[in-house]
Chain A
Amino acid sequence: MNQRIFAGFLIVGVVMFAIAPVYIARAPYESTMGLIQKIFYFHVPAWFVMFSAVFISGIFSAVYLFKQKPVADRIAFAAAEIAVLFGVIGLITGPLWARKSWGVWWQWDARLTMALILEMIFCAYLLLRRYGGPGSDKLAAGLALFGLANVPFVYISVNVWRTIHPATSVVPQLAASAPGMFGPFVWCTISFFVLFFVMLMTRIRLEEQRAEVERLHLIVEKG
């Protein structure tokens, strides 16, 4: 990618991320939860990005498995690392919110447990890539597909097994039910996605450079 365009995305992402707390502070308070509900503006976009990264990793893993294209493996690996990162953000901000609004740090309900399993699948993916040795790329690709298959279950789990966690209807109805919250939420979501794009492009570049190192090592050893 053109370096100027990339730098532009990086600046836009960082500036949007820096301004986000101002919009969040100006957003109205939720009537029952009060101040703690403002974690919502980072918690939900973090999961959106996590699911997107899992989607990208899963799709490109399938492409790698069936078409044997190394570039697809690099994209899948890069997206998997970012999925773990945003999963960690979601799994930290969620319990901080729950402690105040539910009175507990954690509930072993379907949504939380399945989200934790999804995070563990992608941690396993990274461990496999790091320590799995030769052939671990294909095994990891299979694991990413398994993680991708888990996403719809994580998403609908909260509607099927009604627990203390809010249902998925909160976000689609936000524009109508709380217009004052909708603007900051969209702002935060866009800033998270811009940062995600920047991270993904940089991470893919890192994988490309690593592949180049391996290629050059072979040339130098032969020479």
Chain B
Amino acid sequence: MTQRLALVVMVGLLVNTAAILVLGSEQPPAQEEFIPIDQLPPEDQLPAAPLLITAYAIVWIVVFVYLWSIWRRLLVVEREVSELSRRADGDEESRS
């Protein structure tokens, strides 16, 4: 029983060591210094233009949608004010 357990442990250790060696050999070497962005492979370079254009487009859209939204809300409320003023004036006239 003890011999079988020792055999299982040894086989396990061997498989584990082999796996570490095989996987370890496939790993790229550790990066030890700064790499300028233009020397990176194309798939690792992130283009700035789409991010910049998105940022400016969002600012423009948010600002103008908000200005339009205030203007629209103001028109609705002003229409309501004039309607209510007319009704209030009509009530006063009918009482007098």
Interface residues of A (CB under 8 A from B): 17, 21, 34-36, 38-39, 42-43, 46, 85, 88-89, 92-93, 96-97, 99-100, 195, 198-199, 202-203, 205-206, 209-210, 212-213, 216-217, 219-220, 223
Contacts and interface: CB of A to CB of B under 8 A. Distances in A.
A168 B30 CA distance: 35
A202 B52 contact: no
Contacts of B87: 216, 220
B84 interface: yes
A14 B81 CA distance: 29
A89 B52 contact: no
A98 to B, nearest CB: 10
B77 interface: yes
Interface residues of B, number: 29
The 6 closest A-B pairs by CB, nearest first: A223-B91, A216-B84, A36-B48, A35-B48, A209-B77, A96-B55
Interface stretch (B3-11, B14-22, B66-74): B66-74
B51 interface: yes
A93 B58 contact: yes
B62 A85 contact: yes
Chain B contact residues: over half helix, strand or loop, or mixed?
A: helix
Contacts of A209: 74, 77-78, 81
A133 B66 CA distance: 25
Given A206-B73, A223-B91, A42 B78 contact: no
Interface in B58-96: 58-59, 62-63, 66-67, 70-71, 73-74, 77-78, 80-81, 84-85, 87-88, 91-92, 95
A100 B70 contact: no
Given A206-B74, A209-B78, A223-B91, A85 B51 contact: no
A99 B67 contact: no
Contacts of B70: 199, 202-203, 206
A46 B48 CA distance: 20
